[in-house]
Structure formats: structure tokens, C-alpha cells
Amino acid sequence: MKQISGGDAAGNPAIDGGWTTATEKSLLEAAHDREKELLHEVAELQWRLIRTQEELQKYKTGNAQAST
């Protein structure tokens, strides 16, 4: 991502390049942090799904035994 905030930055690659690199690094770090959060959330949801499926199976087994 490259933004120009004035004529001087566009004419000076050292200034523009440094800003772009810092911004890209910041965005990359933010994206990495968000990815970790999402992976954690996915893992938690998978665990909840497994627990719910186990509970459902337990109730199905209990109902089958009660009806026989």
C-alpha cells in the first residue's frame, strides 16, 4: 500500500519509501494478529461443536434406551 501525502514525499524516495515500509509492516503485523485471533476463534468453535455433538449423541442414546 502506497500513499503520497504531499508533493515533497513524492519527489523524495527516501521519505516515501520509509513511510511505506513502516506502514506496510504495521499493516502486516495487524493482519498477523487478526489471523491469530481468527484461528483461535475457529479452534474454540470447533471444540464447542464437538462437545455439542457428543452431548447430542448422549441424548440420542438415552432416548433410544428409554423407548425400548
pLDDT confidence of residue 1: 46
Angle (CA) 23-30-24 rounded to 5° is 20
Tell me whether residue 54 is exposed, middle or buried, using C-beta atoms within 10 angstroms of its C-beta: 0 to 12, 13 to 18, 19 or more.
exposed
Tell me: pLDDT of 5 over 60: no
- pLDDT tens-place string over residues 40-63: 999 999 999 999 999 999 999 998
Q: At 47, which helix (H) or strand (E)?
A: helix 13-67
pTM, entire model: 0.60
Q: Given CA atoms 35, 41, 45, 47 in this order, what sign does their dihedral have?
A: positive
Q: How many CB atoms neighbour CB 19 within 10 A?
A: 15
Residue 32, pLDDT > 90, answer yes
Residue-averaged pLDDT of the chain: 83
Spans of all domains in the chain: 10-67
pLDDT for residue 12 is more than 90 = no
